[in-house]
Amino acid sequence: MTSPRATATQSPAEAKSAQHSDPTIHSIFESITGTWQYVVADLSTSTAAIIDAVLDYDPATQKISTTSADALLSLVRKEGYHVTMILETHAHADHLTAASYLQARLAEEQGSCPLIGIGHRIDQVQRVFGQRYGLAVDRYRGVFDRFFKDNESFNIGSLTATALHLPGHTPDHMGYKIGDHVFCGDSIFHADLGTARCDFPGGSAEDLFQSGRRLLALPDHVKLWVGHDYPPTGVREAPIPCMTVGEHKRQNKHLKLGVTEAEFVALRNDRDARLAAPRLLHPSLQINIAAGRLPRPAVIRLPLKLDGMRW
């Protein structure tokens, strides 16, 4: 758990202000998909939000389980938090979201239902993949409770959060700025990884460059909390959830200061052309455009690749 707090050089009034404006952050790593999940809390009201929660899925057995999500629930119970928001940075293509499962469980336990929030451009992603997989519109219509626009503010207890549109990886991608922290999903990764891929429908290397520059225009001390980490073998062993803006300016292999848009776009497009599809692409998209609601019957569609075969 990371809990930024007042320093010894602050006055009592400044320290009190910092305690009420800065969140307590619990970062929980799901190692199978390399996903960072977050519980962000306002200690003054014991109110919390959950960001990018994982629903466990084994593609070999097609089994869905809730081990990761139940661990988040245990943390919330232990800390005595009341969860009012379950936030998605985007419709993930590499893991299933636990948003609907958590919403149902928390509604039972708390007596009030947290809202599932996402960027308002999710409708573009829903249309594309709903048609691609042949899904009925009512499978994904009305499944999210709150649709954020760029620079829209909302509250987590006494904390003020701001939604930041960060397109490039996907067109619906949002970051959430809470105090001096931005939960930036799959836009910027750890500095030794750089940035996320842009080759999904609606993705754009040009847009991602501008989103990255928007993040790096924030004050140097602001922390950027990533959606994933894949520690490079032999470079570092442990996944790391955040780095400061200043560190990214100096070290990010794709976006550090001095890299031009043309250089970034060429690098990103070349890299994306050589990437394999995410392992959980098809189940993730079908479940995630529905906010994690499982189909009834519990069946997903897997497109076949014929590789030039004739019939």
Q: Which domains does the chain have, with CATH numbers?
A: 21-276 (3.60.15.10)
19 — pLDDT class (breaks 50, 70, 90): very low
Burial of 300 (0-12, 13-18, 19+ CB in 10 A): middle
For the cut 70, the answer to whether the pLDDT of residue 16 exceeds it is no
Residue 305 has pLDDT above 90, yes or no: no
Place of tokens 């042949």: 134
Q: CA-to-CA distance for 100 and 113, rounded, in angstroms?
A: 11
Give burial (CB, 10 Å; 0-12/13-18/19+) of 201.
exposed
- 240-265 pLDDT, tens digit per residue, is 999 999 999 999 999 999 999 999 99
**Residue 10 above 80 pLDDT?**
no
Say what the pLDDT of residue 273 is. 95
pLDDT of residue 193 exceeding 50, the answer is: yes
The packing angle between helices 99-110 and 67-79, to 10°, is 40
What average pLDDT does range 98-104 have in this prediction?
A: 98
**Amino acid 311: pLDDT:** 60
pLDDT the model gives residue 309:
67
The 3 state secondary structure assigned to 127-149 is HHHHHHCCCCHHHCCCCCCEEEC
Q: What is the mean pLDDT of residues 188-193?
A: 95
Residue 167 preceded by cis peptide, ω within 30: no
State the Rg of the chain over Cα.
Answer: 19
For the question of whether the overall pTM of this predicted structure is more than 0.95, the answer is: no
pLDDT in tens, 23-79: 999 999 999 999 999 999 999 999 999 999 999 999 999 999 999 999 999 999 999
Average pLDDT over residues 102-120: 97
